[in-house]
Chains A and B, each alone.
Chain A
């Protein structure tokens, strides 16, 4: 090993990375998203996707859903560091693949091509609640909701059917059954 000239210790062993969905309830005030995102960038955490909107206009509460990857130690740190922010009310955390949780992403897909191509495209999307939002002689705009990796696959499959543009949201999450996030 090359001799260290650093005043800092060598990095230790890296742990296994997991994907987690972190849900944060915050006061909907100026700069709150910058605080949350700045915490991630400042501490070197990863953001895979982000979805944020106000969910309780009366109390001014926004719900931020962040998909992130990290070692169990890093995920724990993310939750605790988020919890320290003044406008943060509560933080919930779920492993990707948790059976008790529903995750969904929405995608808008624009396809340009003849009727036959477009019909084939609709067939590809059949499993993912396709909604035709706009239709012309040459084009169609579809809305689908699915998991991230499912949308990835659909996008690959649609290439040959004239997919020209994609717009996707970050994932949002909700518990199954009557339970709510603690």
Chain B
């Protein structure tokens, strides 16, 4: 008779078979049997967060930076409810997470027991799928299925809720064989005919554009390489969403910068005026499209996505291609090379006028700002950070707000998986714990969280985690004492009524750093900025960098609410802006 294992042992056997190296978690009554078993499994290291939300975001940072699923372990009740924000964040940004939660013993479920909550009920809308395991014989199968669901098709979070008595009960464990055939929920339904149709559209286009998103990153590093080849053999311009940054080099001449609400003038105008839009792994989010009725009115639209429900959800498209980005691009390149080896040459004339027009938009230089020699402009701080870190393989995480948009605009990424930001859910407090997870996956790389002082305070306790595991993350705070994006909207749309967006009584971040046992650095003037940033990079410990920036700087360019792409507000430096502002004031 084969050996019997306890539920807790089975949890670890499954994780070993899934090649899990790190678990991010927090212990509690209902998961104690699993924590008790931890000592017997050397290949799996547990990272103790300071809050379950922090554990969740750290697992997200880990997953996004190395492409493997992040594993979270939390207790019942508050442990599970605290992780809900991270699960929802992962659901919105398609990050593979496997969350294991403890639950009160089976016989107590439904009795309002201590630390009981309806975990599967609460997490149902924010996971791809979840399970309550009521029979130890089902446990191994369920956990393996959980990993499969999290990582196949469009990735996302899953949760397995395990009652405490199940963790003690015993069952057989049959060795796991990874199935080659993916489950029925992953989709590669495209055919050669679709690709031929796309190439036909591409050769007719006079004003084409690639619009790429996080799907390229999720499809793996190879997809980014293939995208570069595709863009280079077509000569088309390319723009990227917030999540797609890094899949194409940010300093390449064919790259128009990020698009959307705070995207560049050239990217948004090109999206509006194009005659062929090829969406690769993006989802026509409302921050991208602006006013949907006037979104890119003249274009034929192609949408490549692994999730069929993303297609025709917000914007009707002419050619849907359901499939994995990497596989679609690979067939596309192969077909172009075979049937149209001179595509680039023959196409050059076709789109030369288009590039001329793009050049005109580019000359507006929409990311420009009026620099100062007295106060540090936040954009300047990001530019200096970029210049001083671009030669290292740097990983950037962010919180949510103005600093996030400035980072996306001014930090140029040239590799995938180097940019971790909460895009869909927009979770303040994401960046610091995410940096913890990234540093765990890449212990010898430079990891910087570009933060705002308001966001970072939401999960500041995770500095303690960073110190415990010697993770030299750098928290680069653009400190303007405001919730900057809230303040900006209030200035533009609510008659400068800065209701509750100013934070009084902020902590002294340098002293706070010291209290945590890490290093605090403060920069007050533009002159000292470079030297202080260098100091931050050189320190081999976690750093909180308090960068005091202009308090009232706004993030431009900007598409005001309810406006199409070609009606952008530009920054104060641009003359054209005066015209738009005159009209814009009545419009916004």
A: which residues have CB within 8 A of B? 3-10, 12-13, 30-31, 34-35, 38, 42, 73, 76-77, 80-81, 83-86
A80: B residues at CB distance < 8 A? 308-309
Known pairs A9-B561, A77-B309; A38 contacts B125 (CB<8 A): yes
B149 lies within 8 A of chain A by Cβ: yes
B: which residues have CB within 8 A of A? 120-121, 124-125, 128-129, 132, 149, 185, 286, 289-293, 307-309, 312-313, 316, 489, 493-494, 561-562, 586-588
A30: B residues at CB distance < 8 A? 132
Q: How far is the CB of A18 from chain B (nearest CB, A)?
A: 16
Known pairs A38-B125, A77-B313; A7 contacts B561 (CB<8 A): yes
- Cβ contact of A9, chosen from B124, B129, B291, cutoff 8 A: B291
Q: How far is the CB of A52 from chain B (nearest CB, A)?
A: 17
Give 19 new A-B contacts, CB below 8 A, not counting A6-B561, A86-B185: A3-B588, A4-B561, A5-B494, A5-B561, A6-B562, A7-B561, A9-B562, A10-B291, A10-B562, A12-B291, A12-B292, A31-B121, A34-B124, A73-B313, A77-B313, A80-B308, A81-B309, A83-B309, A86-B128
B313: A residues at CB distance < 8 A? 73, 77
Known pairs A9-B291, A31-B120; A84 contacts B309 (CB<8 A): yes
Q: How far is the CB of B157 from chain A (nearest CB, A)?
A: 13
Return the chain A residue nearest B154 by Cβ: A84
| Contact indicator B561/A12 (Cβ below 8 Å) | no
Q: In this complex, which of A9, A42, A85 has the most chain B Cβ atoms within 10 angstroms of its Cβ? A: A9
Bound CA span A5–B490, Å: 10
| Contact indicator A84/B286 (Cβ below 8 Å) | no
Q: How far is the CB of B261 from chain A (nearest CB, A)?
A: 9
The 6 closest A-B pairs by CB, nearest first: A80-B309, A86-B129, A4-B562, A10-B562, A12-B293, A12-B292
Contact count A vs B, C-beta below 8 Å = 62
| Contact indicator A3/B290 (Cβ below 8 Å) | no
Return the chain B residue nearest A90 by Cβ: B184
| Contact indicator A8/B561 (Cβ below 8 Å) | yes
Q: How far is the CB of B127 from chain A (nearest CB, A)?
A: 10
A10: B residues at CB distance < 8 A? 291, 561-562
A4: B residues at CB distance < 8 A? 561-562, 588
B149: A residues at CB distance < 8 A? 86
Known pairs A4-B561, A34-B121; A13 contacts B293 (CB<8 A): yes
Q: List 10 A-B contacts (CB under 8 A).
A: A4-B561, A5-B494, A7-B489, A9-B286, A9-B561, A30-B132, A34-B121, A73-B312, A76-B312, A83-B308
Bound CA span A81–B125, Å: 12
Bound CA span A13–B132, Å: 42
A9: B residues at CB distance < 8 A? 286, 289-292, 561-562
Q: How far is the CB of A33 from chain B (nearest CB, A)?
A: 11
| Contact indicator A84/B185 (Cβ below 8 Å) | yes
A83: B residues at CB distance < 8 A? 185, 308-309
| Contact indicator B286/A8 (Cβ below 8 Å) | yes
| Contact indicator B493/A5 (Cβ below 8 Å) | yes
Q: How far is the CB of B486 from chain A (nearest CB, A)?
A: 10
Return the chain A residue nearest B129 by Cβ: A86
| Contact indicator B561/A31 (Cβ below 8 Å) | no
| Contact indicator A3/B587 (Cβ below 8 Å) | yes
Return the chain A residue nearest B560 by Cβ: A4
A77: B residues at CB distance < 8 A? 309, 312-313
Q: How far is the CB of A6 from chain B (nearest CB, A)?
A: 5
B290: A residues at CB distance < 8 A? 9
- Cβ contact of A3, chosen from B125, B293, B308, B586, cutoff 8 A: B586
Bound CA span A8–B312, Å: 19
Q: How far is the CB of A93 from chain B (nearest CB, A)?
A: 14
Q: In this complex, which of A31, A42, A73, A86 has the most chain B Cβ atoms within 10 angstroms of its Cβ? A: A86
Return the chain A residue nearest B307 by Cβ: A84
Q: How far is the CB of A58 from chain B (nearest CB, A)?
A: 19
Bound CA span A134–B557, Å: 74
Q: How far is the CB of A84 from chain B (nearest CB, A)?
A: 6
Bound CA span A77–B308, Å: 9
Return the chain B residue nearest A35 by Cβ: B124
Return the chain A residue nearest B564 by Cβ: A9
B121: A residues at CB distance < 8 A? 31, 34
| Contact indicator B125/A42 (Cβ below 8 Å) | yes
A6: B residues at CB distance < 8 A? 561-562
B588: A residues at CB distance < 8 A? 3-4
Bound CA span A42–B122, Å: 12
Bound CA span A80–B153, Å: 14
B562: A residues at CB distance < 8 A? 4, 6, 9-10
Bound CA span A6–B588, Å: 9
Q: How far is the CB of B565 from chain A (nearest CB, A)?
A: 11
A81: B residues at CB distance < 8 A? 309
B312: A residues at CB distance < 8 A? 73, 76-77
Bound CA span A38–B316, Å: 26
B185: A residues at CB distance < 8 A? 83-84, 86
B586: A residues at CB distance < 8 A? 3
Bound CA span A35–B149, Å: 16
Return the chain A residue nearest B313 by Cβ: A77
Bound CA span A6–B494, Å: 10
Return the chain A residue nearest B261 by Cβ: A7
B120: A residues at CB distance < 8 A? 31
Bound CA span A5–B489, Å: 9
A8: B residues at CB distance < 8 A? 286, 561
| Contact indicator A31/B309 (Cβ below 8 Å) | no
A76: B residues at CB distance < 8 A? 312
Bound CA span A13–B316, Å: 14
Return the chain B residue nearest A72 by Cβ: B312
Return the chain B residue nearest A79 by Cβ: B309
Return the chain A residue nearest B310 by Cβ: A80
A13: B residues at CB distance < 8 A? 293
A7: B residues at CB distance < 8 A? 489, 561
Q: How far is the CB of B16 from chain A (nearest CB, A)?
A: 24
Q: How far is the CB of A45 from chain B (nearest CB, A)?
A: 13
Bound CA span A38–B120, Å: 12
Bound CA span A76–B124, Å: 22
Bound CA span A9–B287, Å: 9
A3: B residues at CB distance < 8 A? 586-588
Return the chain B residue nearest A30 by Cβ: B132
B494: A residues at CB distance < 8 A? 5
B561: A residues at CB distance < 8 A? 4-10
Bound CA span A73–B125, Å: 22
Bound CA span A98–B308, Å: 26
Known pairs A6-B561, A9-B286, A76-B312; A31 contacts B124 (CB<8 A): yes
Q: How far is the CB of A43 from chain B (nearest CB, A)?
A: 9
